[in-house]
Amino acid sequence: MSDKTELSSLVNDELLMVMFELNNISEQHSSESNLNENIINHVLSIPGKQLRPSVTIICSKIWNEEVDDRVIKMATAVELLHIATLVHDDTVDFAETRRGEKTASNIWGPHIAVLVGDFLFATSAEYVCDTGSIRLIKQFASTISDLAKGELKEIENSNDVNIKEEDYLDVIFKKTASLFATSSMSGALLGGAEEKNIQSLYSYGKNLGLGFQIFDDVLDFEGTENKLGKPVGNDLKNGIMTYPSIIARSKDKKIKNDIEELFNLPKKDKEISAKEIVNTIKRSGYVEESKDKAYKLIHSSIENIKSISKNNIYTDSLENLAYYSMKRDK
């Protein structure tokens, strides 16, 4: 059994409740038009890892195994928000596939896809309001703001071979780690944790999210199109500098020049060149160096778990999730 499977098994009943909420959203809007039914069903039915809602539920169960409706509402909110960001990301990046399926923007066009993403953002906020927690409403609003600012910053940095490491880390905090951090701290808060433990679990989510994203960047170099559901080297082809590229560029002038040339190529000529640069970066050891950075962040997240005042199967499962993030291949 994988660590991810173990995590899901501890919250399987609660995840079914989250799926029930997602199905309700699809059904509530299916009567408005065939287009609404088709596109909302499409974006909500593509299977994902459900890591974020699982983290919310697990962090609540550390202190209270009896999960109430507020936790389910919060877990649904973080999953909806995650799906909304994927819809917008795919639209901005002109992505053709996601998890092996055609993206909403590929099927229905960017205008409709953006509006559907907006709908999911708004719906996720409604679910957070149902928790009755002003603190979580504010935290969630801040997370939505971070997600948007991170996307804007990534666009601003696109095709910039000289992006600084700290700017990249700021982008991935906003785009990825901020939602992991909110997922974990919200579960702890709703479960009745003390403030110091809420902060420790916020740090857990932040460090896990940062490490998770760097490993995700590594997969763009080491994965396969079949497993990733998108072409290898897709980030570079789209002008996005990720951690392996930044490390390689800072230490190898030829790779830096090659990336600059890639960014200036016509779109139709980029795929082959991007794959060649990916192979060069892999051979040069910069992917392994990127993994080392991710390992450090993941180990920091494990230390965050060890610092809290509880030790049970749920804290163990959060540690296992951290270890899983270092072994994933898609």
Predicted TM-score (pTM) of the model is 0.91
Is 2 domain-assigned?
no
Is 258 domain-assigned?
yes
Is 1 domain-assigned?
no
Work out how many domains the chain is built from and give that number.
1
User: Which domain covers residue 126, as residue numbers?
Assistant: 7-325
Is 168 domain-assigned?
yes
Q: How far is CA 126 from CA 174, 308, 326, in A?
A: 21, 31, 34
Is 13 domain-assigned?
yes
- pLDDT tens track, the chain, 330 positions: 455 556 667 899 999 999 999 988 888 776 555 555 578 888 887 767 899 999 999 999 999 999 999 999 999 999 999 999 999 988 887 778 787 788 888 888 889 899 999 999 999 999 999 999 999 999 999 999 999 999 999 999 999 999 999 999 999 999 999 999 999 999 999 999 999 999 999 999 999 999 999 999 998 898 666 665 566 788 999 899 999 999 999 999 999 999 999 999 998 889 889 999 999 999 999 999 999 999 999 999 999 999 998 999 999 999 999 988 887 665
Angle between helices 243-251 and 253-263 (to 10 degrees): 130
| In the chain, alpha helices (H) | 3-10, 12-30, 34-45, 51-61, 69-92, 104-108, 110-129, 134-157, 165-172, 178-191, 195-222, 225-228, 234-237, 243-251, 253-263, 270-283, 286-306, 313-325
CATH of residue 289's domain is 1.10.600.10
> What dihedral angle (degrees, nearest 10) is formed by the CA atoms of 300, 250, 283, 328?
30
Is 330 domain-assigned?
no
